Amino acid sequence: MNFFESLLLLLAIAIALLRISRPLAIPYPTMLAAAGVLLGLLPGAPAIGLDPQIALALFIAPALVDAAYDFPLNDIKRFWRPLFALAVIAVLLTAAAVAWLGVAMAGLPIYAAVALGAIVAPPDAAAATAVLRNVSMPRRSVVVLKGESLLNDASALILFGAALSFHTRDATTAEVTLRVLSAAPLGVLLGVALAFAVRRVMPYFTGTLGGNLLEFVTTFGIWIIAERLHISPVLCLVAFAMTLARTANLTTPPRMRIHSFAVWSAAVFLLNVLAFLLMGFQARTILGGMTPDRLREAAWFAGAVVLCVVVVRMVWAVAYSWLSGRWRWLRGGSPRVPVPQSILVGWAGMRGLVTLATAFALPATFPERDMIVLAAFAVVLATLVVQGLTLGPLVRLLGLDGEDGLQAEIDRARAAMASQALQRFDGQSGVIADQWRYSLTARIRAIETGDEGELTEKRRLGLDAIRHQRHVLEEMRRTGHVGADAFLILQEELDFTEVTLSSEAERQIEES
């Protein structure tokens, strides 16, 4: 079976597993990673390797841009203290604790122990986002976790690069220190500069399929440029996406935005599915070269690392909640994080592809490489399976599964938008103005009273009219009164109209 056939078979298996995961309420990264392990250990299973550098760029870069584009800069300004506590301090504390464990328990050199700590410290953006979609959590916790998943990879990869430099001796101590200190600010500056440059170029490609391709080429290109310059590719892409998003709402044509969102959603989901499935396949590579005695020794160490990673994050999350309650400046103007929410944030620390890819990026001559890679894989699998499966029950146990505030936020925004739009019709008369005035007034009234009777009736009548138009259009195509090109244009018009009349739940496309 060649590579393409193997990949096609894996995707077919993944699609079946995705369908199973939904009724079982299992986050798909958890199921795919576990299935990958089982499939990889089967006799005759194809050997599919992952080039670490390609894996990081291919799987992480699009997920970062997709998430950062939708994450508002105001939330970083508002929650920068808890974000710094998780994305920087929690990563450093975890890395330090694991490094101490590596020196004390496995006898690793200090730089190798630091590399291991950097590898297992950051929760993964793709894993966190995928699991969060299946859990109803308080809005503040969701915002903080999403923001953390965008930023913590930068802290870990900078630390990992510094540890690797001590092994390869490709830089002096002073040069390594300079790289560490400059990687983050230079990454942000480069990302902002590239965003302004791309913003000038994109209008020439707007409305074309080439424009969609350019978005992906730009994403991968920025990652490669940042890596070559030894600055943070993570922060570079996050800054790039956030800068672009600040004006995209007013300048991007709606048709292009709908198409681009659909393309990016499908592409990022495909890459996530492949990443978590292929991640499990690496078990054969990890276990294949170990003797039974060596495997037992490495397994004990891996178990200790898993426990250390989980405990340190939990302790720090609860400690930060307590500290921010005593010293207000630690939380700024935000209210104190309740202990149940801090427990939830501490438990939502799933590791993923970043951890595994950086472990495989270790040179073959790296001290105790096989033990480090096994420990990294154990952390990924344990956190995905144990924490991924128990996050939903924990939310309910802590009493945090109520209203998350999203619908209230949407209603407030809709009422404000409709009120401002309604003012544009002051002094205007006529059937068209009256129609828009009635539609906007009905929406405001439904939000204020909670009675959507008028809007429901409007949707029912509108959808019924569209359904009859579809039958007429189909009959005209069958009899030859409408050609293929005209049919597609008219069908798209009906599709867009039906989407505007549909409820929020009906507009959502499920992952599985």
What pLDDT, in 10s, does the model give residues 349-368? 888 878 887 887 788 788 88
Do 304 and 335 have their domain in common?
yes
Among the ranges given (80-94, 255-269, 320-334, 386-400), the one the predictor scored with the smallest mean pLDDT: 320-334
Provide the pLDDT confidence category of residue 340 given band limits of 50, 70 and 90. Answer: confident
pLDDT digits (tens, 9 = 90+) for 257-275: 788 888 888 888 888 888 7
Do 38 and 169 have their domain in common?
yes
Terminal Cα-to-Cα distance of the chain (whole angstroms): 27
pLDDT digits (tens, 9 = 90+) for 371-408: 898 899 899 888 988 888 888 788 888 877 665 566 77
Structural domain includes residue 457: no
Helices marked H in 208-291 — which ranges? 209-228, 233-251, 254-281, 283-288
- pLDDT for 271: 85
Do 161 and 110 have their domain in common?
yes
- Residue with token string 């830089």: 171
- pLDDT for 121: 92
User: What one-letter code names the amino acid at 367?
Assistant: P
- pLDDT for 510: 62
Helices marked H in 42-87 — which ranges? 52-55, 61-69, 73-78, 80-84
- pLDDT for 359: 84
Mean model confidence pLDDT for the chain: 83
Do 474 and 431 have their domain in common?
no
Structure-token pair, residue 158: 């900078």
Structural domain includes residue 184: yes
- pLDDT for 113: 94
Do 24 and 67 have their domain in common?
yes
- pLDDT for 131: 63
Distant-in-sequence, close-in-space partners of 355: CB < 8 Å, separation ≥ 6 = 119, 120, 122, 124, 376, 379, 380
Structural domain includes residue 388: yes
Structure-token pair, residue 251: 């300048």
Q: What is the CATH number of the domain that holds 255?
A: 1.20.1530.20
Query: Can you tell me the distance from the alpha carbon of 162 to that of 166, in angstroms, rounded to the nearest whole number?
Result: 7
Provide the pLDDT confidence category of residue 497 given band limits of 50, 70 and 90. Answer: confident
- pLDDT for 290: 76
Residue 89 pLDDT more than 90?
Answer: yes
Structural domain includes residue 195: yes
Range of the domain at 240: 3-397
Q: Taking residues 107-116, what's their average pLDDT? A: 92
Number of domains in the chain: 3
pTM: 0.82
pLDDT > 70 in the chain, percent:
91
Do 182 and 249 have their domain in common?
yes
The 3-state DSSP class for residue 260 equals: helix
- Residue with token string 């401002």: 420
Q: Taking residues 154-164, what's their average pLDDT? A: 86
Helices marked H in 327-452 — which ranges? 339-347, 353-360, 369-382, 388-397, 406-423, 431-449
Compute the residue count for the chain.
512
Do 100 and 10 have their domain in common?
yes
Do 356 and 431 have their domain in common?
no
- pLDDT for 221: 94
Do 142 and 258 have their domain in common?
yes
Structural domain includes residue 124: yes
Do 23 and 106 have their domain in common?
yes
Do 481 and 370 have their domain in common?
no
- pLDDT for 507: 63
Nearest to 364 by CA among 97, 167, 76: 167
- Residue with token string 């270790």: 362
481 to each of 427, 468, 471, 486, 487, how far by Cα in Å? 44, 17, 14, 10, 10
Query: Can you tell me the distance from the alpha carbon of 372 to that of 115, in angstroms, rounded to the nearest whole number?
Result: 9
pLDDT digits (tens, 9 = 90+) for 170-195: 667 777 778 778 888 999 999 999 99
Residue 303 pLDDT more than 60?
Answer: yes
Query: Can you tell me the distance from the alpha carbon of 131 to that of 153, in angstroms, rounded to the nearest whole number?
Result: 18
Structural domain includes residue 96: yes
Q: Taking residues 450-470, what's their average pLDDT? A: 86
Do 362 and 487 have their domain in common?
no
Structural domain includes residue 392: yes
